[in-house]
A and B are shown apart, each in its own frame.
Chain A
Amino acid sequence: MEYSILILITPLFLFLFLGLVGGKLRPNIAGIIGTLGMGFCAVLAYSVAYQYFFVIGKTADSWQSIMPINFEWLRFTELLHIDLGILLDPISVMMLVVITTVSFMVHIYSLGYMHGEVGFQRYYALLSLFSFSMLGLVVATNIFQMYIFWELVGVSSYSLIGFYYQKPSAVLASKKAFIVTRFADLGFLVGILILSYYTKTFDFATLTANNAELVISSFAGGTFMGMSLVSVALALIFMGGAGKSAMFPLHIWLPDAMEGPTPVSALIHAATMVVAGVFLVARLFPVYFFAAPDVLTMIAYIGAFTALFAAVIAITQTDIKRVLAFSTISQIAYMMAALGVSKYGDHDGLGYMASMFHLFTHAFFKALLFLGAGSVIHAVHSNEMKDMGNLHKYMKITSITFLIACLAIAGIPPFSGFFSKDEILAAAFHNQPIIFWTLWIVAGLTAFYMFRLYFGIFFNGKRDYEHKPHESGLPMAIPLMILAVFSVFTGLIPFSEFISSDNKPFEMHIDMVVASLSVVAAIVGIVVAYTMYFKDSNKPAAVAARLKGLYTASLNKFYLDEVWMFITKKVIFNCVSRPIAWFDRHVIDGTMDNIANVTQKASHRVRGLQSGQMQRYVAFLVAGTILIAILVLIFV
Chain B
Amino acid sequence: MIKLEYYLIVSTLMFFIGIFGFITRKSMIAILISLELVLNAVEINFAAFNRYLFPEQMEGMFFTIFGIAITAAETAVALAIIINAYRLIGDININDATKMKG
**B35 CB, nearest partner CB in chain A, Å:** 10
| Contact between B19 and A622, CB atoms less than 8 A apart | yes
A312 to B19, CA, bound (A): 99
Is there contact, CB below 8 Å, between B23 and A615?
yes
Whether B23 pairs with A612 at a CB distance below 8 angstroms is no
B72 within 8 A of A: no
- Complex: A618 Cα to B34 Cα, angstroms: 13
Are A618 and B19 touching (Cβ within 8 A)?
A: yes
Q: Judging by beta carbons under 8 Å apart, are A613 and B19 in contact?
A: no
Q: A618 is contacted by which of B23, B95, B98 (Cβ under 8 Å)? A: B23
Q: How far apart are the CA atoms of A31 and B95 in the complex, in Å?
A: 71
Residues in chain A near residue B101, CB distance under 8 A: 612
Task: Classify the interface of chain A: helix, strand, loop or mixed.
Answer: helix
Tell me, yes or no, whether B94 is within 8 Å of chain A by CB: yes
CA distance A612 to B98 in the complex (A): 8
Residue of A nearest to B94 (CB): A615
A619 within 8 A of B: yes
Chain B residues, Cβ within 8 Å of A615? 22-24, 31, 94
Whether B23 pairs with A619 at a CB distance below 8 angstroms is: yes
Q: Which of A599-616 contact B (CB under 8 A)?
A: 612-616
> Dominant SS at the B interface?
helix
Interface residues on B, range: under 10
Bound-state CA distance A614–B25 (Å) is 12
User: What chain B residues lie within 8 Å of A618 (beta carbons)?
Assistant: 19, 22-23
Complex alpha-carbon distance, A612 and B19, angstroms? 18
Q: Are B94 and A613 in contact (CB-based, < 8 A)?
A: yes
Chain B residues positioned under 8 Å from A613 (CB to CB) = 94-95
- Interface residues in A567-626 (C-beta closer than 8 Å to B): 612-616, 618-619, 622
Contacts of B24 on A, CB cut-off 8 Å?
615
Cβ–Cβ < 8 Å partners of B31 in chain A: 615
| One of B23, B95, B98 near A622 (C-beta < 8 A) | B23
Residues of chain B contacted by A622 (CB below 8 angstroms) = 19, 23
- Contacting A at CB under 8 A, from B1-54, are 19, 22-24, 31
CB distance from B17 to the nearest CB of A (A): 13
- Bound-state CA distance A617–B13 (Å) is 21
CB neighbours (8 Å) of B23 from chain A are 615-616, 618-619, 622
Q: How far is the CA of A622 from the CA of B101 in the complex (A)?
A: 23
* CA–CA, A619 and B23, complex, Å: 6
Q: Give the docked Cα–Cα distance between A551 and B95 (Å).
A: 88
Complex-state Cα separation, A613 to B95, whole angstroms:
7
Residues 506-530 of chain A, each 1 if its beta carbon lies under 8 Å from chain B, else 0: 0000000000000000000000000
- A619–B19 CA distance with the chains assembled, in angstroms: 8
B94: A residues at CB distance < 8 A: 613-615
* A616 to B22 Cα, complex, angstroms: 10
Q: A610 → chain B, closest Cβ, in Å?
A: 10
Closest to B25 in A: A615
In the complex, per-residue mask of B62-102: 1 if CB is within 8 Å of any chain A CB, else 0: 00000000000000000000000000000000110010010
Q: Cα distance A618–B94 when bound, in Å?
A: 14
Q: B residues within 8 Å of A by Cβ? A: 19, 22-24, 31, 94-95, 98, 101
Q: 11 A-B Cβ contacts within 8 A?
A: A612-B98, A613-B94, A613-B95, A615-B23, A615-B24, A615-B94, A616-B23, A618-B23, A619-B23, A622-B19, A622-B23
* Apart from A612-B98, A613-B94, A618-B19: 14 A-B pairs, beta carbons within 8 A: A612-B101, A613-B95, A614-B94, A615-B22, A615-B23, A615-B24, A615-B31, A615-B94, A616-B23, A618-B22, A618-B23, A619-B23, A622-B19, A622-B23
